[in-house]
């Protein structure tokens, strides 16, 4: 396998780290010029990242969706792309530091992560329902990850304001309410997509393994718990009108579950695709 995609991924990683440096420099200082530099670095990183994914697809002959390590590169691209689309509109551009750090971490995992033998056979990837299950899950995860970034910014801002630290850091973070609102919108966006992904997953499970859901598969169990947490969030936030710190904490909890579902379930029985 040629290494073009690895080189491009590494370049994207460097660009993300540069962007992270710019954003952090902005958070701790006064100079607004750093946000502009950060935005430029993010755009460059996103382009390199996209190029890496395309190169990878061409090298393997199929999109890099065959195992967790590969999809991580796609999920992180989704997070950043989503951020670029909604940042200015939903006033969370200033949460950029969280986003790029997350993306850089994901790419690092892809680059260093285990190249596990267990990958999805290419012929299965060509099946529309299975491909849709994977793609929808990835977009859903991406939206939840970005919602987590907004929630983290919200919590940090809340902490600073309570500690009476109205200095540069507080000024360069999104406001409590904007971050809260953006988190909600992202879950509203991501939840139906994630749900659809789950349903397609269940159908595929039924077709391939003969069950719709089983307690014996950690990935399926954690997916269900994740789904329930975000459903609870939407209920509390959307229907009962709860806002603020508690909702942000719920989003963080939801994201931790996403991580467990996504990475922690590597010990899964069925999603390892070895057999």
Q: Which residues bind other proteins (CB under 8 A)?
A: 29-31, 91, 157, 160-162, 164, 166-168, 170-171, 173-178, 240-247
Distance CA 117, CA 106 (A): 20
Shortest separation between residue 232's beta carbon and other proteins, angstroms: 15
Shortest separation between residue 119's beta carbon and other proteins, angstroms: 45
Closest CA to 41 of 16, 10, 73: 16
- Return the number of the residue (5 or 94) whose C-beta is nearest other proteins: 94
Distance CA 70, CA 5 (A): 11
Shortest separation between residue 186's beta carbon and other proteins, angstroms: 16
Q: What is the signed CA dihedral for 147, 152, 43, 108, rounded to 10 degrees? A: -100
Q: Which pairs from 196-201 meet CB under 8 Å and 24+ separation? A: 196/136, 197/132, 197/133, 197/134, 197/135, 197/136, 197/137, 197/139, 197/140, 198/137, 198/223, 198/224, 198/227, 200/129, 200/130, 200/132, 200/133, 200/136, 201/133, 201/137
- Return the number of the residue (176 or 193) whose C-beta is nearest other proteins: 176
- Return the number of the residue (91 or 195) whose C-beta is nearest other proteins: 91
Shortest separation between residue 171's beta carbon and other proteins, angstroms: 7
- Return the number of the residue (123 or 162) whose C-beta is nearest other proteins: 162
- Return the number of the residue (113 or 174) whose C-beta is nearest other proteins: 174
Shortest separation between residue 36's beta carbon and other proteins, angstroms: 12
Shortest separation between residue 187's beta carbon and other proteins, angstroms: 16
Residue identified by tokens 């169990």 is: 221
**Residues whose CB is less than 8 angstroms from the CB of residue 74 and which lie 6 or more positions away in sequence, other chains included:** 53, 63, 64, 65, 138
- Return the number of the residue (28 or 209) whose C-beta is nearest other proteins: 28
């Amino acid at each position: 396998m040629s290494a073009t995609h690895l080189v491009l991924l590494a370049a994207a990683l460097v660009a993300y780290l540069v962007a992270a440096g710019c954003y952090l420099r902005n958070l701790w200082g006064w100079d607004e010029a750093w946000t502009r530099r950060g935005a430029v670095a993010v755009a460059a990183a996103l382009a390199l990242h996209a190029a890496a994914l395309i190169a990878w697809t061409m090298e393997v002959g199929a999109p890099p969706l065959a195992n967790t390590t590969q999809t991580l590169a796609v999920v992180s691209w989704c997070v950043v792309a989503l951020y670029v689309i909604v940042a200015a509109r939903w006033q969370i551009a200033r949460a950029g530091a969280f986003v790029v750090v997350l993306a850089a971490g994901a790419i690092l995992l892809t680059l260093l992560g285990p190249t596990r033998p267990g990958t999805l056979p290419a012929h299965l990837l060509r099946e529309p329902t299975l491909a849709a299950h994977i793609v929808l899950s990835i977009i859903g995860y991406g939206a939840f990850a970005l919602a987590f970034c907004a929630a983290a910014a919200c919590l940090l801002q809340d902490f600073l304001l309570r500690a009476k630290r109205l200095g540069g850091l507080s000024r360069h973070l999104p406001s409590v309410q904007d971050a809260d609102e953006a988190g909600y919108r992202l879950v509203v966006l991501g939840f139906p997509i994630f749900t659809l992904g789950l349903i397609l997953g269940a159908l595929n499970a039924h077709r391939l393994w003969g069950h719709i859901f089983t307690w014996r598969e950690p990935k399926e169990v954690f997916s269900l718990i994740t789904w329930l947490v975000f459903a609870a969030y939407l209920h509390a936030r959307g229907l009962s009108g709860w806002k603020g710190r508690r909702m942000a904490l719920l989003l963080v909890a939801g994201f931790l579950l996403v991580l467990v579902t996504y990475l922690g379930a590597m010990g899964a029985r069925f999603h390892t695709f070895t057999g």
